[in-house]
Amino acid sequence: MSGKPRLTYVNGRGRMESIRWLLSAAGVEFEEIFLETREQLLKLCQDGSLLFHQLPLVEIDGMKLVQCRAILSYIAGKYNLYGKDLKERALIDMYVEGISDLMQLILVFPFSPPEAKEKNLATIAEKATERYFPVFEKVRDRKDVPRKLAFTTIRNFPKSFETAWPRLSCGKPIQLGRCSAHGSHFSSGGESAFCAFWVSSAAGF
Amino acid sequence: MSGKPRLTYVNGRGRMESIRWLLSAAGVEFEEIFLETREQLLKLCQDGSLLFHQLPLVEIDGMKLVQCRAILSYIAGKYNLYGKDLKERALIDMYVEGISDLMQLILVFPFSPPEAKEKNLATIAEKATERYFPVFEKVRDRKDVPRKLAFTTIRNFPKSFETAWPRLSCGKPIQLGRCSAHGSHFSSGGESAFCAFWVSSAAGF
């Protein structure tokens, strides 16, 4: 084994993408194994590699880490990407959990029964624009926020959401306030933003 | 202000209960404010106390903390209840996220459409008994696990789930393996267990 972290997942972004981003931001090279069959997954379950029988799996420092948040927290902590003290960390956690709440609404949306789709979409749009984006826009615009807290995600999360929205809404327009004036580094609206929040908390974007 | 942490929530367990447990385990006295009207909640939103317009709110060390995980992490970190290093913390995070995944299934279960209830209940039972409980039982039984990782939740989580099950299943029986031989400290199966995981990770139960 090379000593590099080894990431095992399917060949797609999904729940591993945020981990790839975070390792890249930390300047850490890693190896990847892409599973292609159910048998490969079952083998990992049987040999005890997957604590809860789920990917992603990251082998690092002699551990077999699972659970996305646990993995991200470990990497962020190890590579000093998680604020300078407990208070900054708490702020980062709060913003991350806020993004996560919004993303959860989006993730379960496709499973809405047909008669609830329009209402649920309206709820997502309302919460995004009235509850979540104003928080990120406010922090983004503050001059007194330490650079470590003025992370890329706060700057770009609304924009990344805007990119994802047409797929979600089948083209229905949404008013996202001032965020449309800003560029985006993200190819998708969910996990990447969740990750970049961590990443940029220390990288000082 | 007394200097004690101040907890604001409704007069119920809900998402504040795990925080109460954690503070109690740390030996920290706290004050509580129970909201009774929607106007009180709106006032907190308007004065900027609730970052994402949601309770619970914990005022501590000059901060207004929201988001359950962020609050628990801050308290656990501050009072040395979060493992002795990053590796132990990662293990704790993995187990906590596992419990959280199972609890999420249970939380959304009441919103299942009638025709899906039976299938969803079977899924919960299957995952609980085949995926999650064996993990906790395995760690509980290991003699070489550091005391800090042999937490109460691993010992009691399956039992606490068993207590909650009759409400969930309307009395339908479930086979929970060896866990039924163990006592429980929990009055409900969800947040308390989630909290106690953190609590007991350092308390050495």
CATH number at residue A134: 1.20.1050
The whole domain housing A137 covers 86-203
Among A76-85, B134-143, B182-191, whose mean pLDDT is lowest?
Answer: B182-191
Dihedral pair phi/psi, residue A26, rounded to 5°? -80, -5
Question: What number of other Cβ atoms are within 10 A of residue B75's Cβ?
Answer: 27
Tell me how many degrees the CA angle A184-A189-A191 measures, rounded to the nearest 5: 115
Per-residue confidence (pLDDT) for residue A97, from 0 to 100: 84
CB B95 within 8 Å of CB B40:
no
Q: How large is the average pLDDT for residues A174-188?
A: 33
Per-residue confidence (pLDDT) for residue B176, from 0 to 100: 42
Question: What number of other Cβ atoms are within 10 A of residue B106's Cβ?
Answer: 18
Domain boundary among B78, B100, B120: B78
Do both A115 and A177 map to the same domain?
yes
Whether A61 contacts chain B with CB within 8 A: yes
Interchain proximity A97–B70, CB inside 8 Å: yes
Which is more confidently placed, B141 or B180? B141
Whether B104 is covered by a domain: the verdict is yes
Whether A178 is covered by a domain: the verdict is yes
With residue A8 as reference, give the H or E element that holds it: strand A6-10
Question: What number of other Cβ atoms are within 10 A of residue B114's Cβ?
Answer: 6
pLDDT digits (tens, 9 = 90+) for B59-79: 999 999 999 889 988 988 898
Do both A115 and A192 map to the same domain?
yes
| Minimum Cα–Cα distance from A57: chain B residue | B94
Do both A198 and A97 map to the same domain?
yes
Average pLDDT over chain B, rounded to an integer: 72
Whether A1 is covered by a domain: the verdict is no
Do both A117 and A42 map to the same domain?
no
Whether B1 is covered by a domain: the verdict is no
Dihedral pair phi/psi, residue B34, rounded to 5°? -105, 115
C-alpha–C-alpha distance, residues A188 and A44, integer Å: 29
Whether B113 contacts chain A with CB within 8 A: yes
Interchain proximity A67–B93, CB inside 8 Å: yes
In chain A, what residues touch B66 (CB-CB under 8 Å)? 94
**A38 alpha-carbon distance from chain centroid:** 26
Do both B34 and B63 map to the same domain?
yes
In chain A, what residues touch B94 (CB-CB under 8 Å)? 51, 65-67, 70
Per-residue confidence (pLDDT) for residue B49, from 0 to 100: 94
Which is more confidently placed, A107 or A55? A55
Interchain proximity A52–B87, CB inside 8 Å: no
Do both B28 and B50 map to the same domain?
yes
Q: How large is the average pLDDT for residues A97-108?
A: 79
Q: Enter the ipTM.
A: 0.74
Per-residue confidence (pLDDT) for residue B181, from 0 to 100: 24
Q: How many domains does chain A have?
A: 2
Q: How large is the average pLDDT for residues B77-93?
A: 84
Per-residue confidence (pLDDT) for residue B29, from 0 to 100: 94
C-alpha–C-alpha distance, residues B126 and B174, integer Å: 10
Whether A54 is covered by a domain: the verdict is yes
A66 pLDDT exceeds 90? yes
Distance from CA of A139 to the nearest CA of B (A): 11
Domain boundary among A78, A109, A126: A78
**What is the CB-side half-sphere exposure of residue A98 using CA atoms within 13 A?**
29
CATH number at residue A59: 3.40.30.10
Per-residue confidence (pLDDT) for residue A89, from 0 to 100: 85
Per-residue confidence (pLDDT) for residue B195, from 0 to 100: 38
DSSP string, chain B: --SS-EEEEESSSGGGHHHHHHHHHTT---EEEEE-SHHHHHHHHHTT--TTS-S-EEEETTEEEESHHHHHHHHHHHTT-S-SSHHHHHHHHHHHHHHHHHHHHHHHGGGS-GGGHHHHHHHHHHHIIIIIHHHHHHHHH-SSS-GGGS-HHHHHHHHHHHHHHHHHHTT-----GGGGGS----SSSSHHHHHHHHHHHHHT-
Q: How large is the average pLDDT for residues B7-13?
A: 90
Question: What number of other Cβ atoms are within 10 A of residue B42's Cβ?
Answer: 12
Partner residue facing A78 (CB), from B51, B86, B96: B86
Do both A66 and A101 map to the same domain?
no
Whether A1 contacts chain B with CB within 8 A: no
Of B185, B199, B205, nearest in space to B24 by CA: B199
Do both A96 and A32 map to the same domain?
no
> What is this structure's pTM?
0.75
**Is A23 buried (19+), middle (13-18) or exposed (0-12) by CB count in 10 A?**
buried
The top-scoring range by mean pLDDT among B24-38, B97-111, B161-175 is B24-38
Q: How large is the average pLDDT for residues B179-197?
A: 34
Q: How large is the average pLDDT for residues B90-95?
A: 85
C-alpha–C-alpha distance, residues A167 and B189, integer Å: 38
Which is more confidently placed, B38 or A15? B38
pLDDT digits (tens, 9 = 90+) for A69-94: 899 889 888 988 777 789 888 888 88
